Amino acid sequence: MIVEIGSFSLALALALSLAQALLAGVARIRRSVVLAGAGQGAAIGAFAGLVVAFAALMYAFVTSDFSVSNVAANSHTAKPLLYRVAGTWGSHEGSMLLWCLALTGCGAAVAAVGRDLPAGLKTLTISVQGLLGVVFLAYTVFASNPFVRLAQPPIEGRSLNPLLQDPALAFHPPMLYLGYVGMSVVFSFAVAALIEGRVDAAWARWVRPWTLAAWSALTVGITLGAFWAYYELGWGGWWFWDPVENASFMPWLIATALLHSAIVTEKRGAMSGWTVFLALAAFTFSMLGAFLVRSGVLTSVHAFAVDPTRGVLLLAILGVTAGAGFALFAWRAPALKRGGVFAPVSRESALVLNNILLAAATATVLLGTLYPLMREAATGEAISVGPPFFNLTFTPLMAALAILLPAGPLLAWKRADAQGVMQRLWVAALIAAACGLAAFALISPRKAFASVGVAMGAWLVIGALVEIGERTRAFRTSAAESWRRLIGLPRGAWGMTLAHLGLGVFVLGACFETGWKMEAAEALPVGGRLNLGEYHLVLDEVRGLEGPNYDAERGQLRAFKGDKQICAPTPERRLYPTGGQTTSEVAICTLGVNHLYVVLGERRPTTGAPVWLVRAYWNPWALLIFIGPGIMALGGVVSLSDRRLRLAAGRKAEAAA
Amino acid sequence: MRRVLAILGAVLCLAAASDPADRLPDPAQEARARELFREVRCMVCQNESIDDSNAELAGDLRRLVRDEIKAGKTDEQVRAHLTGRYGEFVLLKPAFSWGNAVLWGAPFVVVILGLLLLFQSFRNRPADEELTPEEAKRLDGLSRD
């Protein structure tokens, strides 16, 4: 019964989205307040419908209702509650429902919160968001309905892939989808602004909080995914340049560019066309990601169950939606007002450079992902584009960005004093270079590239601190005055500093880990010893163990540095009988910011005493890889809480303009 | 959501390249072999290098690379051997060839194009020294809120 209510609510939400698009659209044409209100009501109603539908599916998963085909295919009674709940969005159909939930949620939020938007812009935005809702809801209802019943329900479900039964991965999709779909509002805003023919400071101010929120969620989502890969896949890597990872990374790069260009549009009225273009591109890349993951056109270690028909439909949605957006852009953008001239040395220039480099980085990732397809279609030759390509192209672009970054916030708008900025940064540059040299000289083995990376990370971190120092006039005025200024800094400023600092922390961690990680593997009997640089591990025992839905072997080890025991890792190797799959539960000892990463492998059938293959990695500074993006996302949230963004920015700025 | 294919589950846990049973006795040669493994695709896997993969084919390819290195071949010769046998698909780093010019050139083209546009905008409209009265008024308004 509850499943039928869910199914009905989903169909109702589709109808309400259609009503939302039409009512709001007509309201804009007739400038009718009543119809506009009705459109807003429909938007909120569509969201309510999706909430009910989503809750119904979750109920089916929690109660293990195997008469629902989606539940039968993706759940199992022996699964712990958390993973039964997470199973709701663990399959293609369920995740499309989550996508629609987020999409209508965004529409409802614009309707409910956007009180200070100019009426015409708001109504149009709601109408466009309604159209997006119609497209995706129709796809969900007709092509991937999660509520389809089975005539003969099985007694037991087929269970969720055990690799996905993991806390980080339970929350990875919701964060990712908030990010992807948050960009839909930005897309709708852009379309609405193009129709209205006005892209001004007030518009940019409205777009920024949405972009910030979506960007922060995306940052957290991608980081959770990378963290999951790091400890669940069991070979110590955290980023593989896999097509699906790239699919989530491209919207992030574009959103980052958009955050920066929207500042120029807001403060200086310049780059408005480019900002609109990025606003359209961000959601286009989100949809491209959805298509790539679900259509099976790319080989990837992680892809949804492949279904060509659904792929074609998603490609059609992508083509129509993005095509309409960009066609509108091509038609209306030339009429946009150009404004804000600036000198070659100015903050505008720095932000333009940021955008050029981020756009080039996105193009690199896009080509790297799709080029094998294009080449094969054109010439029939299959080629591979893997990590070595991205290391040679993407990394230099990011290095250039990192070198420029600390100067950006110190430059004045319109025309800046290059010499003054250099004066303020030379100490930071000196310290960063010293850090790099120290890393090169002191750490063995000597690694030139990793040392340059360390210098670059230090440059970013110190640069962010210098920027705060400048704002508070630290050491140039009394401590009390500096403190007063520090307290008085707007949250937006803190947000920016945190985000830049987080990037520095990430660069430090990524370069250090990649440069100086150590690996060792040995087949160990009980009591055997594995040497890893200045550390060593002793395997004390291996025990059988029974989990809720798996059987496991757990190794008990002790790790030593010299003679001192530093930790006692207990890695596991699990067998899930339902799907016949084996996974490894890695043991990670966090020592400061370093990780000692231990994996228990298979038992070797040797004659005599059994041996286990034990692998261990020393991943120095690995923790920073995940803390850095965490700090960046925190920066986004802090910035979002800024009074200037929460208050009636739109109306005030309009009055001022 | 990343739905991991069942293959990965089987491949997962272990050991692949670092299996002590297969290692070359000379650590320098072993290190070279590991470097090469990272550039070679396991062709039956989804998107993994033979350094990570546990599939049978990956094991065979590792043996092949190790044998070649032991026989004193250079990295270049090993790569040539692999591409001769399996085509360009086997290398994770696409060759610098005319066929791949678009791929390798695109990042630079985008950067150069962007810079040209930026310089163009400076040439056409030199930054004016003074604020126009309008701008001054607007600045005043902005700094007040």
A197-216 confidence digits (pLDDT tens): 888 888 998 899 999 999 99
Q: Kindly determine whether residue A388 and residue B93, on different chains, have CB atoms separated by under 8 Å.
A: yes
Distance CA A318, CA A45 (A): 26
Facing residue for B46 by CB, picked from A89, A301, A656: A301
| A72 found inside a domain | yes
The reported pLDDT for the residue numbered B45 is: 74
- Greater pLDDT, B52 or B126: B52
Predicted confidence band of residue A576 (pLDDT cuts 50, 70, 90): confident
Q: Kindly determine whether residue B106 and residue A367, on different chains, have CB atoms separated by under 8 Å.
A: yes
Last residue of a domain, one of A165, A180, A213: A165
A376-A378-A381 Cα angle (round to 5): 35
Please give the single-letter amino acid code of residue A142: F
Contacts 24+ apart (CB under 8 A), B102-108: B102/A367, B102/A371, B103/A367, B103/A368, B103/A371, B103/A385, B103/A389, B104/A393, B106/A363, B106/A364, B106/A367, B107/A360, B107/A361, B107/A363, B107/A364, B107/A393, B107/A394, B107/A397, B108/A360
What is the domain-level CATH number for residue A537? Answer: 2.60.98
| A363 found inside a domain | no
| A320 found inside a domain | no
| A112 found inside a domain | yes
Last residue of a domain, one of A120, A144, A165: A165
Q: Are A511 and A571 part of one and the same domain?
A: no
The reported pLDDT for the residue numbered A316 is: 92
Contacts of B141 (CB under 8 A, 6+ apart): A655, A656, A657
Q: How many CA atoms lie within 13 A of B41 on its CB side?
A: 27
Q: Give the helix/strand (H/E) hosting A255.
A: helix A243-268
Distance CA A147, CA A358 (A): 41
According to DSSP, residue B49 is labeled: B
Mean pLDDT, residues A211-226: 95
Domain coverage including residue A511: 417-483+496-516+624-657
Residues of chain A found within 8 Å of residue B8, distances taken between Cβ atoms: 163, 233, 301-302
Distance CA A629, CA A512 (A): 16
| A35 found inside a domain | yes
Residues of chain B found within 8 Å of residue A341, distances taken between Cβ atoms: 125-128
Q: Are A118 and A38 part of one and the same domain?
A: yes
Q: Are A4 and A107 part of one and the same domain?
A: yes
Q: Write down the ipTM of this complex.
A: 0.82
**Per-residue model confidence as pLDDT tens digits over A250-260:** 999 999 999 99
Facing residue for B88 by CB, picked from A381, A521, A599: A381
Q: Are A310 and A294 in contact (CB under 8 A)?
A: yes
Q: Kindly determine whether residue A367 and residue B94, on different chains, have CB atoms separated by under 8 Å.
A: no
| A638 found inside a domain | yes
Q: Does A342 touch chain B (CB under 8 A)?
A: yes
Q: Are A435 and A561 part of one and the same domain?
A: no
Q: Kindly determine whether residue A582 and residue B94, on different chains, have CB atoms separated by under 8 Å.
A: no
Q: Are A634 and A504 part of one and the same domain?
A: yes
The total of structural domains in chain A comes to: 3
Compute φ and ψ for A468, nearest 5 degrees: -65, -40
Q: Are A50 and A90 part of one and the same domain?
A: yes
User: How many beta carbons lie within 10 A of that of residue A546, not counting itself?
Assistant: 8
Distance CA A413, CA A267 (A): 9
Q: Does A312 touch chain B (CB under 8 A)?
A: no
Range name among A119-128, A360-369, B47-56 with the lowest pLDDT average: B47-56
pLDDT at A101 over 90: yes
The reported pLDDT for the residue numbered A213 is: 94
Q: Are A628 and A654 part of one and the same domain?
A: yes
Predicted confidence band of residue A344 (pLDDT cuts 50, 70, 90): confident
In this structure, chain A runs to a length of 657
| A120 found inside a domain | yes
Last residue of a domain, one of A165, A191, A214: A165
- Greater pLDDT, A568 or A474: A568
For chain B, what are the domain ranges?
6-93, 99-144
Percentage of residues in chain A having pLDDT higher than 70: 96
Q: Kindly determine whether residue B4 and residue A90, on different chains, have CB atoms separated by under 8 Å.
A: no
Please give the single-letter amino acid code of residue A7: S
Distance CA A243, CA A303 (A): 9
Q: Are A30 and A141 part of one and the same domain?
A: yes
**For chain A, what is the mean pLDDT?**
89
Q: Are B108 and B55 in contact (CB under 8 A)?
A: no
Q: Are A523 and A655 part of one and the same domain?
A: no
Q: Kindly determine whether residue A657 and residue B52, on different chains, have CB atoms separated by under 8 Å.
A: no
Residues of chain B found within 8 Å of residue A379, distances taken between Cβ atoms: 99
This prediction's pTM: 0.91
The reported pLDDT for the residue numbered B7 is: 35
**Per-residue model confidence as pLDDT tens digits over A392-428:** 999 999 999 999 999 999 998 988 888 888 888 999 9
| A479 found inside a domain | yes
Predicted confidence band of residue A113 (pLDDT cuts 50, 70, 90): confident
Contacts 24+ apart (CB under 8 A), A97-100: A97/A10, A97/A50, A97/A53, A97/A54, A97/A57, A97/A140, A97/A146, A98/A54, A98/A173, A98/A174, A98/A177, A99/A136, A99/A140, A99/A177, A99/A180, A99/A181, A99/A290, A100/A13, A100/A50, A100/A133, A100/A136, A100/A137, A100/A140
Q: Are A100 and A7 part of one and the same domain?
A: yes
**Per-residue model confidence as pLDDT tens digits over A230-249:** 988 777 788 989 888 899 99
Q: Are A479 and A606 part of one and the same domain?
A: no
Distance CA A462, CA A504 (A): 9
The secondary structure of B9-41, three-state, reads: HHHCCCCHHHCHHHCCCCHHHHHHHHHHHCCEE
Q: Which fold has domain B6-93?
A: Helicase, Ruva Protein; domain 3 (1.10.8)
Predicted confidence band of residue A291 (pLDDT cuts 50, 70, 90): confident
**Per-residue model confidence as pLDDT tens digits over A530-551:** 999 889 999 999 999 888 888 9
User: In b/e form, how buried is each residue of A484-506, taking b as 16+ CB within 10 angstroms?
Assistant: eeeeeeebbbbbbbbbbbbbbbb
Q: Kindly determine whether residue B99 and residue A579, on different chains, have CB atoms separated by under 8 Å.
A: no
Q: Are A531 and A581 part of one and the same domain?
A: yes
